[in-house]
């Protein structure tokens, strides 16, 4: 009889317990268990649940093999095959776990897996606050979605907004690229990664490095702020702001833009740059400067706008310069309105009132001038229409050659050594004594064609072809007007100096490394 009475008391206690939980919806409710044992520890009731067990609080379910329930604090210690299900979207599993019914904070430990529709998080330790919908792992986690695998030492995930925050040794691996950083915010809905620390993205065709910005992991559209660099096999682009559309091969750069063409050792700098990869064109404007560096010598080119055009079929490239063009090289300076630099045949063509200076002794003019380079040296120069060459002798006299067209030839030291004049040739040459200290007279000649030979910018020989006409004028008969051919204008004061063309030399334009106009804007979203 005593055994029967004891059994009835225990059964009544279990029934009363289930009834008490059912009466309070906000408290944790035990819905299923094989056994329930009531114990008292330190003066407080503890209920030992032998499962499989199922608990419920609102829309949250907790499953486990066994558990301790602390009814006064609404706290569960769960063991074995622990699983928490929140609604119809979030499931968390682990070896062990705790759940605080008052704060609705779950702490899962050991082989933790969190599934949220198309995302899976694996870690060893996870704290999940169901009031704020934020999950946190403090010691290495791996997240896999349909496009990416993301790892970091520390991370947060908001199951409502679908936004992650990754910290320390962050890596995103995609079949087409790998992204590394120290801090990233990732939106699982838009697949956009936002970062505020130095970040590197290594793709199939190149590498992107930036300090701040966002990157769409699906479309490849990136918006970078701070000093940023995009490096491809053939070129490197660095700027304060870079917006890049990888799929459409469109780029925008602003602020101390530096574009390096690796194959031909060319550096282009400016305020703003645009790149259209499919068209093979790039444009830099705003204090634009190009530098072509070969054999320790640099050709500087500055203009309002520099345009590079690549013919992918012919594998050729040309650079166009527009408005207020100036060039500077140790052996050549010049200015004009516009210019074309053909990299395939190393020719530079100057348009609209071009004037060039070879060192500081010779000046060359023509309606159009083309320079042929060889081994980064001036090989020859073609002056078309109204060609005019002026060279100074040791006494600062202006030797002059004029004609319809000219071809000037240069030696290995980039000094003019011969000029072929074709059509309407005219020439004034001052004849000096052997010591080059006194004028002996002046030759003034005309001919259909002529050949002028020079040595160290001094006229040594003139060969006149086809019925030359002219005279030798003795020193006492030389008068000012007679010493100038029609159209003479010595423009040495306009000759560019290095600081005029290397105008960006003091700006901070260093590429970053790890150890305007309808441009896309950076989008900031709160966590």
Among 29-38, 56-65, 381-390, 413-422, where is mean pLDDT lowest?
413-422
Do 427 and 311 lie in a common domain? Answer: no
Within-domain flag for 102: no
Do 358 and 487 fall into the same domain? yes
Comparing 343 with 306, the larger pLDDT belongs to 306
- Specify whether 285 is located in the same domain as 225: no
SS (H, E, C) 412-451: CCCCEEEEEEEEEEEEEEEEECCCCCCEEEEEEEEEEEEE
* 186 lies in the same domain as 259: no
User: What mean pLDDT is predicted for residues 353-364?
Assistant: 87
Q: Considering just the CA atoms, what is the radius of gyration of the chain in Å?
A: 41
What are the tens digits of pLDDT across the range 181-193? 999 999 988 989 9
Residue 175's φ and ψ, nearest 5 degrees, are -55, -25
Q: What is the pLDDT of residue 462?
A: 87
Instruction: Examine the pLDDT at 390 and tell me if it is beyond 80.
Output: yes
Q: Report, as an integer, the average pLDDT of 300-321.
A: 88
Q: Are residues 215 and 153 in the same domain?
A: yes
Is residue 21 scored above 50 in pLDDT?
no
pLDDT confidence of 293, banded at 50, 70, 90?
confident
What is the reported pLDDT for 517?
Answer: 36
Tell me what pLDDT residue 526 has.
28
Q: Name, in order, each residue with C-beta under 8 angstroms of 163's C-beta and a sequence gap of 6 or more.
A: 157, 185, 186, 187, 188, 525, 527
DSSP state for residue 472 in the 8-state scheme: E
Q: Which residue has the tokens 């003479």?
A: 488
Are 298 and 383 in the same domain? no
Closest CA to 222 of 187, 258, 189, 250: 250
- 145 and 135 in contact (C-beta within 8 Å)? no
In percent, the amount of the chain with pLDDT more than 90 equals 52
Residue at 517 is within a domain: no
Residues 385 and 482 reside in one and the same domain:
yes
Q: Which of 303, 320, 347 is the last residue of a domain?
A: 347
- Mean pLDDT (the chain) is 85
For 128-177, how does the pLDDT look when each residue is reduced to its tens digit (9 = 90+)?
999 999 999 999 999 998 888 999 999 999 999 999 999 999 999 988 88
CATH number at residue 177: 2.60.450.10
pLDDT of residue 295: 67
Mean pLDDT of 489-515: 71
CATH assignment of the domain containing 362: 2.60.450
Considering only CA atoms, which of 206, 234, 230, 505 is closest in space to residue 343? 234
Question: What pLDDT score was predicted for residue 356?
Answer: 93
Over residues 259-269, the pLDDT tens digits come to 888 877 788 89
The verdict on residue 506 lying in a domain is no
CB contact at 8 A, 527 and 161:
yes
Please state, in angstroms and rounded to a whole number, the distance separating the CA atoms of residues 244 and 247.
9
pLDDT at 204: 80
**Together in a domain, 367 and 311:** no
What DSSP string describes 397-417?
A: -EEEEEEEEEEEEE-TTS-EE
Distance in Å from the first CA to the final CA of the chain: 65
Q: Does the structure show a pLDDT above 70 at 104?
A: yes
Q: Is residue 52 part of a domain?
A: no
Do 342 and 372 have their domain in common? no
pLDDT value for 7: 36
Same domain, 425 and 404: yes
Mean pLDDT of 425-436: 90
pLDDT (tens digit, 9 = 90+) per residue, 48-90?
999 899 999 988 999 999 999 999 999 999 999 999 999 888 9
pLDDT tens readout for residues 448-476: 999 988 887 677 888 988 888 999 999 98
- Tell me the helix, strand and coil percentages in the chain, rounded to 5: 5, 65, 30
254 lies in some domain: yes
Residue 2 falls inside a structural domain: no
Domain count, the chain: 3
Per-residue pLDDT, 294: 65
Q: Which domain holds residue 229?
A: 140-233
- Whether 312 and 402 map to the same domain: the answer is no
Is residue 30 domain-resident?
no
Residue 14 lies in a domain: no
Residues 6 or more apart whose Cβ sits within 8 Å of residue 139: 123, 124, 125, 153, 154
What pLDDT does 364 receive? 92
Same domain, 383 and 468: yes
pLDDT at 214: 92
> Residue 512's pLDDT band (boundaries 50, 70, 90)?
very low
Residue 375, pLDDT > 90, answer no
Lowest mean pLDDT among 185-189, 435-439, 501-505: 501-505
- Residue 478 phi/psi, 5-degree rounding, is -75, 120
Least confident range from 227-236, 318-327, 376-385: namely 227-236
Which two structure tokens, joined as six digits, stand for 250?
A: 């469109």
């Amino acid at each position: 009889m005593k055994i029967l009475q004891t059994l009835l008391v225990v059964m009544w206690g279990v029934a009363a317990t289930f009834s008490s939980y059912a009466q309070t919806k906000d408290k944790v409710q035990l819905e299923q268990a094989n056994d329930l044992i009531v114990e008292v520890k330190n003066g407080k009731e503890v209920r030992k649940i032998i499962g499989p067990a199922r608990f419920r609080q609102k829309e949250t379910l907790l499953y486990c093999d066994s558990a301790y329930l602390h009814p006064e604090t609404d706290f569960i210690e769960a063991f074995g095959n622990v699983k928490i299900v929140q609604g119809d979207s979030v499931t968390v599993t682990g070896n062990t776990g705790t759940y605080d019914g008052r704060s609705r904070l779950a702490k899962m430990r050991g082989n933790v897996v969190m599934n949220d529709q198309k995302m899976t998080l694996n870690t060893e330790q996870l704290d999940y606050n169901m009031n704020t919908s934020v999950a946190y792992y403090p010691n290495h986690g791996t997240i896999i979605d349909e496009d990416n695998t993301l790892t970091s030492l520390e991370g947060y995930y908001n199951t409502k907004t679908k936004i992650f925050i990754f910290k320390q040794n962050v890596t995103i691996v995609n079949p087409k690229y790998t992204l590394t950083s120290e801090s990233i915010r990732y939106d699982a809905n838009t697949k956009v990664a936002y970062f505020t620390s130095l970040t590197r993205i290594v793709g199939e065709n190149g590498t992107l490095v930036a300090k701040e910005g966002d990157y769409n992991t699906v479309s490849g559209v990136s918006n970078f702020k701070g000093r940023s660099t995009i490096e491809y096999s053939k070129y490197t682009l660095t700027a304060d702001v870079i917006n890049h559309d990888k799929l459409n091969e469109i780029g925008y750069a602003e602020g101390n833009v530096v574009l390096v063409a690796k194959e031909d050792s060319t550096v282009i700098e400016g305020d703003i740059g645009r790149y259209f990869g499919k068209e093979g064109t790039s444009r830099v404007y705003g204090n634009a400067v190009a530098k072509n560096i070969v054999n320790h010598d640099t050709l500087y080119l500055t203009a309002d706008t520099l345009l590079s055009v690549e013919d992918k079929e012919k594998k050729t490239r040309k650079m166009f310069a527009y408005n207020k063009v100036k060039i500077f090289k140790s052996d050549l300076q010049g200015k004009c309105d516009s210019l074309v630099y053909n990299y395939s045949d190393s020719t530079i063509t100057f348009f609209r009132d071009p004037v060039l200076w070879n060192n500081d002794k010779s000046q060359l003019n023509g309606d159009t001038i083309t320079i042929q380079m060889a081994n980064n040296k001036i090989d020859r120069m073609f002056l078309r229409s109204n060609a005019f060459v002026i060279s100074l002798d040791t006494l600062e006299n202006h030797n002059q050659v004029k004609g319809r067209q000219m071809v000037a030839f240069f030696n290995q030291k980039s000094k003019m050594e011969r000029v072929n004049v074709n059509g309407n040739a005219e020439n004034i040459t001052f004849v000096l004594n052997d010591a080059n200290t006194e004028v002996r007279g002046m030759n003034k000649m005309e001919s259909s064609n002529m050949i002028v030979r020079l040595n160290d910018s001094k006229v040594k020989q003139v060969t006149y072809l086809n019925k030359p006409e002219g005279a030798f004028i003795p020193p006492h008969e030389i008068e000012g007007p007679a010493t100038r051919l029609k159209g003479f204008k010595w423009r040495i004061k306009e000759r560019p100096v290095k600081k005029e063309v290397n105008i960006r030399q003091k700006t901070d334009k260093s590429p970053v490394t790890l150890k305007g106009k309808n441009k896309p804007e950076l989008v900031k979203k709160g966590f």
